[in-house]
């Protein structure tokens, strides 16, 4: 086997992809905060922030400087180790989810590029584990720890109550989240993210019967997973002081904030992968771009557009709907969504049997 140079090994290119995705993600989450405030303003018939630069472009930068230069406080009787680890866990699990999200299929590259890469296919995904979907669920169940430890370690009754409520809500809706994806897995037959998208080249899973039911359950569950209106009783400003991150100041609060927006972006991309076809282009465009070298980029463009619609949908729902009360929330999760997802697993099984 010929000896590979240092720039041809897989480790090097994986590190390049990790750095690229990390920078895009942080910039995306920061500008998502700006877009939320702008869209909130337009929904409420006012301008959002437009002082910091033209159209408020430098607002996230200003927010970042504010968070970094504020005084870091640690309250007196808290458990310091757990207090400081909680935002780290939130941000780490929010970023780790991006290790298996694919942007392009496995593209065969030209011989000159394959000399550079060391092998002859290229995939814009950090790593391709065989069980991509299971990895996503495992990491999103780790995200619960950030919230739980934050509420417990701040020596504050309101934080504890807010975090216990938020944790119970997240673990209840994780069940419906996982089970509604089972019908997608039944229809593809693989756990691999790339194969799920390839199986939708004949038609999105949204337009099949079990996929349609699963889509609505998944959509409601991702609002509950990110603690976002209409399910944000645990962190609403007027309800429980601020919830689990009451005692967190400057940069630690910024980490929680960024982690929440990153989770929203990740789940929007996930719903675009699972139900809306990922990087598959519409049928009339496919023959035009199949041969060219920029063909996969068109796929990436469509993928990002589909995900951006759901990113907008998150903000749209937040500023339009009232909030659920906590017992109504748990009622919905256990008594309506969970039997609903069981029924649509059954429907998916029948559908797969009769096709």
Partner 1 sequence: MELINIRHLLFFLFSFLMIGSSVGVILHKNPVKAAMFLVVFFVGLAATYALLGAEVLATIQILVYVGAIMVLFLFVIMLIAVRDENFDPLGNNIGRFLTMLFVGLTFAGALLVYQSSSNIQDEIPVTDKYSKMLDYAKDYRIEGNAEVLSVELFQNYVLPFEVASVILLVAVIGSIIIAKRNRRYQE
Q: What is the DSSP string of 23-69?
A: HHHHHHHHHHHHHHHHHHHHHTTS----SSSGGGTTHHHHHHHHHHH
By CB under 8 A, residue 128 contacts partner 1: no
**Which of 144/224 has CB closer to partner 1?**
144
**Which of 78/206 has CB closer to partner 1?**
78
**Which of 158/312 has CB closer to partner 1?**
158
Could you say which of 13, 145, 212, 351 contacts partner 1 (CB under 8 A)? 145
**Which of 243/296 has CB closer to partner 1?**
243
- Give the three-class secondary structure for 9: coil
By CB under 8 A, residue 302 contacts partner 1: no
- Cβ of residue 67: shortest distance to partner 1, in angstroms? 27
**Is 159 in contact with 240 (CB distance < 8 Å)?**
no
Q: What is the DSSP string of 170-231?
A: HHHHHHHHHHHHHHHHHHH----HHHHHHTTTTS-GGGSHHHHHHHHHHHHHHHHHTT-TTS
- Cβ of residue 337: shortest distance to partner 1, in angstroms? 17
Residue of 217, 336, 189, 352 lying closest to 275 (CA atoms): 217
The radius of gyration of the chain from alpha carbons, rounded to an integer in Å, stands at: 22
Could you say which of 62, 117, 171, 330 contacts partner 1 (CB under 8 A)? 171
Which of the ranges 144-152, 251-259, 291-299, 340-348 carries the binding residues for partner 1, by CB under 8 A?
Answer: 144-152
By CB under 8 A, residue 215 contacts partner 1: no
| Interface positions, 184-213, toward partner 1 (CB under 8 A) | 191
By CB under 8 A, residue 8 contacts partner 1: no
Query: Cα separation of 60 and 65, whole Å?
Result: 9
223 alpha carbon, distance to own chain's centre: 11
| Interface positions, 322-351, toward partner 1 (CB under 8 A) | none
Spatial neighbors of 166 by CB under 8 A, at least 6 apart, are 147, 151, 227, 234, 235, 243, 244
| Interface positions, 41-100, toward partner 1 (CB under 8 A) | 79, 81-82
Find tokens 């919830």 and name the residue.
243
Query: Cα separation of 47 and 5, whole Å?
Result: 54
**Which of 129/206 has CB closer to partner 1?**
129
Which of the ranges 164-172, 217-225, 231-239, 240-248 carries the binding residues for partner 1, by CB under 8 A?
Answer: 164-172
By CB under 8 A, residue 141 contacts partner 1: yes
By CB under 8 A, residue 286 contacts partner 1: no
Query: Cα separation of 273 and 196, whole Å?
Result: 8
By CB under 8 A, residue 10 contacts partner 1: no
Find tokens 């990491």 and name the residue.
139
By CB under 8 A, residue 131 contacts partner 1: yes
By CB under 8 A, residue 160 contacts partner 1: yes
Could you say which of 12, 58, 137, 316 contacts partner 1 (CB under 8 A)? 137
- Cβ of residue 153: shortest distance to partner 1, in angstroms? 8
Question: Contacts with partner 1: how many residues (CB under 8 A)?
Answer: 24
- Token pair, residue 147, equals 């919230």
By CB under 8 A, residue 134 contacts partner 1: yes
Q: Rounded to the nearest 5°, which phi and psi values hold at 121?
A: -130, 155
Applying CB under 8 A, the residues found at the interface with partner 1 are: 79, 81-82, 129-131, 134-135, 137-139, 141-142, 144-145, 148-149, 152, 160, 164, 167, 171, 174, 191
């Amino acid at each position: 086997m010929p000896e590979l140079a240092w720039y041809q090994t897989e480790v090097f290119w994986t590190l390049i992809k990790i750095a690229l995705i990390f920078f895009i993600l942080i910039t995306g989450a920061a500008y998502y905060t700006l877009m939320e405030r702008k869209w909130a303003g337009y929904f409420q018939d006012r301008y959002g922030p437009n002082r910091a630069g033209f159209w408020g472009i430098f607002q996230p930068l200003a927010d970042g400087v504010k968070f970094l230069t504020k005084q870091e406080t640690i309250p007196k009787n808290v458990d310091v180790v757990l207090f400081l680890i909680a935002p780290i866990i939130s941000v780490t699990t929010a970023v780790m989810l991006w290790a298996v999200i694919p942007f392009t299929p496995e593209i065969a590259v030209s011989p000159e590029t394959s000399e550079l890469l060391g092998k002859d296919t290229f995939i814009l995904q950090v790593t391709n584990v065989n069980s991509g979907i299971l990895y996503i669920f495992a990491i999103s169940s780790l995200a619960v720890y950030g919230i739980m430890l934050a509420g417990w370690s701040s020596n504050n009754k309101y934080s504890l109550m807010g975090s216990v409520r938020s944790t119970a809500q997240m673990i209840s809706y994780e069940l419906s989240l996982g089970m509604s994806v089972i019908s997608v897995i039944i229809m593809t037959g693989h756990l691999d993210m790339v194969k799920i998208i390839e199986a939708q080249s004949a038609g999105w899973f949204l337009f099949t019967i079990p996929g349609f039911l699963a889509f609505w359950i998944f959509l409601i569950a991702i609002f509950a997973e990110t603690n976002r209106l209409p399910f944000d009783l645990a962190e609403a400003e007027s309800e429980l002081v601020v919830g689990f991150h009451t005692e967190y100041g400057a940069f630690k609060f910024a980490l929680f904030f960024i982690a929440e927006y990153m989770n929203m972006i990740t789940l929007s991309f996930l719903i675009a992968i699972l139900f809306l076809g990922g990087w598959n282009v519409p049928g009339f465009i496919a023959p035009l771009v199949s041969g060219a070298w920029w063909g996969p980029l068109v796929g990436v463009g469509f993928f990002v557009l589909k995900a951006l619609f759901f990113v907008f949908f998150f903000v749209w729902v937040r500023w339009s709907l009232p909030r659920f009360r906590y017992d109504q929330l748990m009622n919905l999760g256990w008594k309506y969504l969970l039997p609903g997802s069981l029924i649509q697993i059954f429907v998916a099984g029948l559908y797969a049997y009769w096709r």
